[in-house]
Structure 1
Amino acid sequence: MILDSLDKVGMQIDDTAATAEQMSASAQEVSANVTSSTSMSRNASENSQSVAAATEEQLASMEEISSASNNLSEMVMNLQELVSKFRL
């Protein structure tokens, strides 16, 4: 009877140890997944910042193009006015 009880306790200890090992492995897996998620979040943030910077550069370029286009339009109008003064 005592030996049976000791065997049962030993089996329970083995089961508890196995469960603790499984929990430890699961905790390590969760930790690795959190680390991976953190890394992906950082990369996404960096990519978003790069896109924002590129968008700002494109906006500045578009403003320059618009300004140059306006200047050319004014030059064309001035040239047309000057040419209209000459008659052959």
Structure 2
Amino acid sequence: MLMRSDGTYTFGMTDRNTRDIYISNMIHGNFYDRVLCHELCHAFCLSYNLTMDIQTEEIVADFLATYGREVFALADELIRGIVGMAM
């Protein structure tokens, strides 16, 4: 399932027909986390019926996979600070 139509391999893919995610068992650690987040972005687009051209979806998935945890960690930190100030 990880072979593309051009004969090259990828580390992960989301099958739009079956809605299954496939990830290579050859990757580990932070890279596995990044590939999983990237593919989950595709899955969420399918689940929420968000349609965009594949090039844009790839950019969004790469951004989320690369920076998503940092963005949400900062948001959590800011919210904790705001809630703490309100008390």
- Shorter-chain TM band: 0.3 to 0.5
Q: Which has the higher strand share?
A: 2
Q: Which has the higher helix share?
A: 1
Higher relative contact order (CA 8 A, sep 6+): 2
The normalised TM-score by structure 1 is 0.32
